[in-house]
Structure 1
Amino acid sequence: MLKTMLFDVDGVLLSEERYFDASALTVWELINSPNYLGLMPEIFTPEPTEDQIKRIRTEVFDHDHVLHFIKSRGINANWDMVYLAFSYQLILLLEKLKAKHKDFIKNFLEKNLSREDLNSLGQLAKQSQIHFEPDFASFNQDFKKGNAKKQELMTYMNQISEEKIGLKTSQFSRNSSLWTICEKAFQEWYLGDEKFIEDEDTRPVQTGKQGFLSNEIPIVEPSKLQKLFQALKSRGVKLGIGTGRPTIETIDPLASLGILDYFNRDSISTASDILTAEQKYPERSPLAKPQPYTYISALLGKKCSEPEVLDYPLPIQNGHEILVVGDSVADFYAAQSLGCQFAAVLTGLSGQDARSEFEELNADYILNDVMALLDIL
């Protein structure tokens, strides 16, 4: 009998589309804005139209082929997607400069990179008069040469960098300062100026962004979601959330959908909690999905300390009583590590096309959408 259900949010309760739009805009900004590389500042704007957003996402993620590949290798967090996509273009730019600026590149790859370092690199590229156009379509080709999965994709970029530039480096990892630059830039796009200042207690690097947080798209009608969670609660099912969204981007939308009160706040684990744990225990990072940390935290509740969550024995006891509900391979791997059941919902990026992938993984349940959970019970 199922006693606990732990939910992902993106692709399960809320559409991922705006997250992917914000991810593409972030990569585009990091390449073109004068606040970062500044390669084409004349085309950058903090207020793109819907047509521009669509075009930018199509270009940056190569008609979403890059997104599909990254998710198929077990990466689910948008911060990680931005970091992978931008860092790859950074490597291609360094490759263009290697013939004349080997010493600069060597020093660059050894630094804890700042925005100023990115700006200096962009200025060097302009002064060198090299012709550089981002090659977004090559991302999958280079990463498919290796078998890296999950967070190993980030360190695999060190190998790609060495092959293309001829210098050994350990620059690329989820613990890098460049990852933090990507994370903050993404937050500006998703939250918008007002919410960013409220959440981060600092001004954004680039003002003028409206944000996507108030534009969330529920996958299922809010009234149906309310009935679903009311039915689960009435049957005594404990509910929790383990999401790659930061706290503000989880709490606000769930409240607007009218379903937040069905969850105990202590059982809502977010990317903000992951970052806190990684900062306290860097030797244990990365902890984002597909690592099981966020689901263990949701299961145990916030009363448990980070060390208790980190050292909780796996697989958990009575795993057959716990169901993780997610849309991605990363969620599946996390549930597998926990030793609990997994329900794949076909409302994520790949839609119904993901069915064969989850069948191959032997997911316990494959559902058209989250409402089918009532059929399981």
Structure 2
Amino acid sequence: MLDLILFDVDGVLLSEERYFDASALTVWEMLYSQKYLGIRSENFSPDPVEEEIRRIRKELFIDDQVLSLMKSYGINANWDMVYLSFSHQLIVLLQQLLPEHRVEIEHIITKEITRESIEKIASLLKNKTIQIDYASFLEDFSTGPSQNQSILYYLNNVAEKRLGIKTDVFSPTSLLWEICQETFQEWYLGDQLVPESIGRETYQSGKKGFLSNEIPIVPPERIAETLEMLRNKGIKLGIGTGRPTIETIIPLREMGLLSYFDPERIITASHVLDAESRFPHRAPMAKPHPFCYIKGWLGLQQDDEQVIDFQINPSDAKKLMIVGDSVADYLAAKEIGCCFAATLTGLTGQEARGKFEELQADFIVNDMTEIPSIL
């Protein structure tokens, strides 16, 4: 008998489309805005029209092939997707500055990459003829590491291969990762909500944000009906998501869904970041690391250090189900030893069925409304 079901949010309850749009816009800004690398003469705007957003995402992620490849490696957090994509393009750009600026590049690539580093790279790129090759990501990562988050560190291998410089500067605990994360937050939240989220005004103002334009996977009333059916079976409901808290609470509340979830079991990326800041030597803890789901099992008040080291015994693991749309969710469930239900409402939709069949997911459902039927 199940005691608890923990739901991922993106691709399960809410559509990921706006998150992917914001990811593309973040990389686009950091490449083209004069506040970042400022390459080429493309006109940057913090408020692009919908047609422009579609064009940017299509070009940058090669018709979402880049997103699909990252997902296949278990990368689920959009912050990590932005960091991977931008850092890779940064390496490709630096390669084009060799050998003329080898000394400067070696200095940059072997230290923490900061906003000052980005300014220095922008000055080196100024008035240079630069080739942008988004598809090179597929080439460099098609034979990357195995399915785990070491792909974030694999950027160091790519840098050594392309630049001939050995480095360990690329990691999910780097300052560059923080810059990518905060810039993404600016796009997703918009000028009004950014100060509450990251403690400062937007670095580049004029962004409206996407938070008020969320798209549910199925109509909210059907989600509510499903959650009510599960609660009536005596099952507690929680959340384990790569979204920050503010981006989880606001849309679920507006859709009338928040009250179905136990507030002690709503675990977000904000809680993961807090744990990583307290125990940096244990990072990364984003999915596919099972931290958010184990904390959801134990409850929000459980100390993070105990959560990190906690092992759910096999008999208790049978009382937990994780509902997710990604390989990262599956890997977290496998690590815990609990039941996993895959929904076919993520980036690749029904095409994901083959992958989850290959992984031998416990259940595969078209969408979350089918969860009561598999119980």
TM-score category of the 2 structures, normalised to the smaller one: over 0.9
Q: Partner of 1:48 in structure 2?
A: 48
Mapping of residues 11-90 of structure 1, within 5 Å: 11-40=11-40, 42-90=42-90
- CA gap of 1:286–1:208, structure 2 versus 1, over 3 A, is same
The 8 Å contact of residues 272 and 286 in structure 2, kept in 1 or not, is answered as yes
Residue in structure 2 matching 1:330, options 312, 318, 328: 328
Residue in structure 2 matching 1:143, options 138, 141, 145: 141
Mapping of residues 169-184 of structure 1, within 5 Å: 169-184=167-182
Q: Partner of 1:366 in structure 2?
A: 364
Structure 1 counterpart of 2:349, which letter? G
> Identity rate of aligned residues, in percent?
51
Pairwise CA distance, 1:149? 2.9
Q: Partner of 2:277 in structure 1?
A: 279
Pairwise CA distance, 1:142? 0.9
Question: Where does structure 2 lack aligned partners over 5 or more consecutive residues?
Answer: none
Structure 2 counterpart of 1:356, which letter? G
Pairwise CA distance, 1:7? 0.3
- CA gap of 1:363–1:330, structure 2 versus 1, over 3 A, is same
Q: 3-state DSSP class of the match of 1:206?
A: coil
- 1:43 and 1:304 map into 2 onto residues whose CA distance is 49
- 1:146 and 1:225 map into 2 onto residues whose CA distance is 38
What TM-score comes out, normalization by structure 2 length?
A: 0.98
Structure 1 residue ranges, 4+ long, deviating more than 6 angstroms after superposition: none
The answer on 1:94 being equivalent to 2:102 is no
Pairwise CA distance, 1:338? 0.6
Q: Partner of 2:294 in structure 1?
A: 296
Structure 1 counterpart of 2:330, which letter? F
Mapping of residues 119-134 of structure 1, within 5 Å: 119-126=119-126, 129-134=127-132
- 1:298 and 1:343 map into 2 onto residues whose CA distance is 17
- 1:116 and 1:52 map into 2 onto residues whose CA distance is 29
Q: 3-state DSSP class of the match of 1:43?
A: coil
The 8 Å contact of residues 47 and 210 in structure 1, kept in 2 or not, is answered as yes
Structure 2 counterpart of 1:279, which letter? S
The 8 Å contact of residues 73 and 149 in structure 2, kept in 1 or not, is answered as no
Pairwise CA distance, 1:316? 4.9
The 8 Å contact of residues 182 and 198 in structure 2, kept in 1 or not, is answered as no
- 1:143 and 1:9 map into 2 onto residues whose CA distance is 27
Larger deviation, residues 231-240 vs 364-373: 231-240
- 1:59 and 1:136 map into 2 onto residues whose CA distance is 7
Structure 1 counterpart of 2:4, which letter? T
Q: Partner of 1:354 in structure 2?
A: 352
Structure 2 counterpart of 1:200, which letter? I
Larger deviation, residues 33-42 vs 269-278: 33-42
Pairwise CA distance, 1:83? 0.3
- 2:71 and 2:17 map into 1 onto residues whose CA distance is 14
Q: Partner of 1:211 in structure 2?
A: 209
Count of matched residue pairs? 375
The 8 Å contact of residues 191 and 206 in structure 2, kept in 1 or not, is answered as yes
Pairwise CA distance, 1:225? 1.1
- 2:131 and 2:325 map into 1 onto residues whose CA distance is 34
Residue in structure 2 matching 1:224, options 222, 235, 244: 222
- 1:154 and 1:41 map into 2 onto residues whose CA distance is 30
Mapping of residues 147-162 of structure 1, within 5 Å: 147-162=145-160
Structure 2 counterpart of 1:198, which letter? E
Q: 3-state DSSP class of the match of 1:193?
A: coil
- CA gap of 1:64–1:99, structure 2 versus 1, over 3 A, is same
Q: Deviations over 1:153-176 (max 9, x none)?
A: 111110111011011000111011
Pairwise CA distance, 1:21? 0.2
- 2:354 and 2:143 map into 1 onto residues whose CA distance is 23
Pairwise CA distance, 1:201? 2.5
Q: Deviations over 1:351-373 (max 9, x none)?
A: 00000000000000000000001
RMSD of aligned residue pairs (Cα, Å) = 1.1
Q: Partner of 1:268 in structure 2?
A: 266
Question: Where does structure 1 lack aligned partners over 5 or more consecutive residues?
Answer: none
- 1:152 and 1:94 map into 2 onto residues whose CA distance is 23
Pairwise CA distance, 1:265? 1.4
Larger deviation, residues 192-201 vs 312-321: 312-321
Structure 2 counterpart of 1:180, which letter? E
- 1:62 and 1:115 map into 2 onto residues whose CA distance is 27
The 8 Å contact of residues 238 and 261 in structure 2, kept in 1 or not, is answered as yes
The 8 Å contact of residues 33 and 41 in structure 1, kept in 2 or not, is answered as no
The 8 Å contact of residues 7 and 325 in structure 1, kept in 2 or not, is answered as yes
- 1:150 and 1:83 map into 2 onto residues whose CA distance is 16
Residue in structure 2 matching 1:253, options 251, 268, 284: 251
Pairwise CA distance, 1:280? 0.5
